[in-house]
Structure formats: C-alpha cells, structure tokens
Amino acid sequence: MGLGRLIVLTGPSGVGKGTLLRSLLKRHPELYLSISVTTRAPRPSEVDGQHYYFVTRTQFERMVANNELLEWAEFAGNCYGTPREPVENQIAQGKWVILEIELEGARQIRRTFPEALRMFILPPSLGELEYRIRNRAQDSEDAIAQRLQRARAEVEAADEFDIQIVNDEFEAALNRIEAALFTPVNV
C-alpha cells in the first residue's frame, strides 16, 4: 500500500454502511477500521473496544477538550467521535484507515484532513431506507422518525463527497467501493 490514506464512509442510518464495510474488510484485511468512541450504551451484541469504545459523557467531553478526537458529533442524544492517536499512527505506518462516521464528522474531516477520500453511501430511495430501518426492529417510532428526518438532510449533502455510491444491490455497491479505492486514477 505504501502511503497511508484516510478514507471516510458516510451515509444515513440504515443505508447499509456497516454491512458494506464488514464485507470490504473481509476482502481487504490490510485496511484498518478506526473504532469510534461513544457515550451511548452498548447494544446486547456489542463489545467494548471491538464495536465502539463506550465512555461516559464526562470522559467524552474531556477527550474533546484535550483535542484527542479527529472529529465528533452528537446524534440522537449521544456523542460519537474518532480517537486521533490511533488513526494518525496507522497512517504514519502507511496503512489505509477507514472511518465510518456521520455527516457532521465527515465535514470536520474535510477541514482537518482535506486529502481524505470521502465516500457517501446513498439508499435507492427514502422509502427503501425507511423499510430497512423499520426491518432492523431496533428503534422506537420516535427514533425512526428522527432517523428519517436526519436522513433527508444527509442525502441532500451527498454531493459534498468525492464519490457517491447507491446501495441498491449489495454486491454491486461493494464492487463500486472497491473500484473507487483500488482502481488507479489516470493522471
């Protein structure tokens, strides 16, 4: 791989970012996934240090104050952020680091890491996105409404990103991500 690189993957909740990313990492174990820190409680299947680093709001605020986060945002009443040190260390070692983050965090990365490759994953339609969110059966009706309202605003921001990929058919979307990452650009 040679030179380190920062790759940002963003898209609305329920669009399939996590599923695409897990498959991408299985195919390309040389990629390094940055683990975010969050103030939300772990879901039953989540493991601290593997899915997220789970911290208190006080700990999170201390990290922000000490400039320990590359980016951070509050979403649905919880804070999420990217620890700076592990990302910078991996890039310095020549690794390609992937951040799976929300729109606000991606906007912060654009300012702090303008050379990052920023990809936005789009749903085929907002109707399909609503179906996917409801099908997960993880959220209350209020949370679903919040996620859908936020998704509309996020989809409108897709053109701020270097690459937009519609997750209409899983394998095709995954292939488009791989092409964006690994196909040499003609100069």
Q: Where are the domains of the chain?
A: 5-182
Dihedral sign of CA atoms 5, 9, 10, 13 in order: negative
Indicate the pTM of the whole model: 0.86
CB 132 within 8 A of CB 120: no
Q: Would you say 15 and 121 are in contact if contact means Cβ atoms under 8 Å apart?
A: yes
Dist CA 157 CA 151 (whole Å): 10
Q: What is the CATH number of domain 5-182?
A: 3.40.50.300
> pLDDT per position in the chain (187 positions), as tens?
468 999 999 999 889 999 999 999 999 999 999 999 999 999 889 999 999 999 999 999 999 999 999 999 887 789 999 999 999 999 999 999 999 998 999 999 999 899 999 999 999 988 888 888 888 767 778 878 888 888 899 999 999 999 999 999 999 999 999 999 998 764 4
Question: What span, in angstroms and rounded, lies between the C-alpha atoms of 87 and 15?
Answer: 25
User: Alpha-carbon torsion 56, 61, 62, 66, what sign?
Assistant: positive
In the chain, DSSP assigns E strands to 5-10, 32-33, 37-38, 53-54, 69-75, 78-83, 96-100, 117-122, 163-166
Q: What's the pLDDT score for residue 2?
A: 61
